Copies of this chain bind each other. A is one copy, B any other.
């Protein structure tokens, strides 16, 4: 297969290197990834600033481009401008840290996969549940390779990205694979006020993702239980159930 790889941790991230290494054994792989870290940029796109592109080469060891934009910019630019073919699949990752629950809304990793889906290209977002700088991405790389081969077999429409989260466990302790729903897990932010050398207050946005105590098969609880979680993502944000009940109301100014 011809595979486009992107991420939100930037072109020098170890998770990207592991994904490239795992995929290039069997596939033709090209990278279009952000020049700098773009974590938590969500589905942002760059309209007010110019976007610059730097070809990757021997220093990095990759075929492809570093892009001065967001993950969604990378996918748009690669599909419409940089590549002269449509890849068979777009894979975004391997993200440092899981992308579960409502954090999907903030995730540049997931948004890159969503952007591919909007353009009709099958896509996977893959994340490792670890922020350890020495985290081992090699098992997650093999998982990406396995799932890329399965997408067609599962009849997953190209408009539906698959969001994959891998526990940070030795392979022998991984309990298997589970299809899951998005949990209610959420980033709980804290703002830390500080004072700069000129006496002005500024804030750091800190925080962490709360654990999920649900017993349902959700992304977060499944990863916590030692399984690889696979969630099909829906990009129609309509709350159809509520829409039906709202339509009984009349409204006029």
30 inter-chain pairs at a CB distance below 8 angstroms, sorted by A residue, are A39-B48, A40-B46, A41-B44, A42-B44, A42-B72, A43-B43, A43-B105, A43-B106, A44-B44, A46-B205, A50-B196, A50-B203, A50-B204, A51-B205, A52-B201, A72-B106, A76-B191, A76-B205, A105-B118, A143-B253, A146-B251, A150-B249, A160-B239, A160-B242, A174-B253, A176-B251, A179-B249, A181-B236, A182-B236, A232-B239
Cβ of A81 within 8 Å of any chain B Cβ, yes or no, is yes
A12 vs chain B, min Cβ distance (A): 15
Taken together, the copies of this chain in the complex come to: 2
Cβ of A194 within 8 Å of any chain B Cβ, yes or no, is yes
Beta-carbon contact of B105 and A235 below 8 Å: yes
Interface readout for A167-189 with B: 1 if CB under 8 Å, 0 if not? Answer: 00001001011011110001101
- Enumerate the 9 nearest inter-chain pairs by beta-carbon distance, A residue then B residue, closest first: A42-B43, A234-B239, A42-B42, A50-B202, A232-B239, A177-B251, A181-B238, A232-B242, A41-B44
Beta-carbon contact of A80 and B181 below 8 Å: no
- Chain B residues near A76 (CB-CB < 8 A): 189, 191, 205
- Chain B residues near A43 (CB-CB < 8 A): 42-43, 105-106
Cβ of A95 within 8 Å of any chain B Cβ, yes or no, is no
Question: In the complex where A156-B246, A202-B50 touch, is A252 in contact with B176 (Cβ < 8 A)?
Answer: yes
Residues on A lying within 8 angstroms of B by beta carbon are 37, 39-48, 50-53, 72-73, 76-77, 80-81, 102, 104-106, 111, 114, 118, 142-143, 146, 150, 153-157, 160, 171, 174, 176-177, 179-182, 186-187, 189-191, 193-194, 196, 200-205, 230-240, 242-243, 245-247, 249, 251-253
Cβ-neighbour of A186 out of B118, B153, B155 (below 8 A) = B118
Beta-carbon contact of B182 and A238 below 8 Å: yes
Question: In the complex where A40-B47, A43-B42, A205-B47 touch, is A191 in contact with B105 (Cβ < 8 A)?
Answer: no
Cβ-neighbour of A237 out of B47, B104, B179, B187 (below 8 A) = B104
A219 vs chain B, min Cβ distance (A): 9
Residue ID in chain B nearest A48 by CB atoms: B37
Question: In the complex where A142-B253, A234-B237, A239-B233 touch, is A42 in contact with B205 (Cβ < 8 A)?
Answer: no
**In the complex, A204→B53 CA distance in Å?**
12
Question: In the complex where A42-B41, A44-B41, A106-B44 touch, is A243 in contact with B181 (Cβ < 8 A)?
Answer: yes
**In the complex, A45→B231 CA distance in Å?**
23
A106 vs chain B, min Cβ distance (A): 6
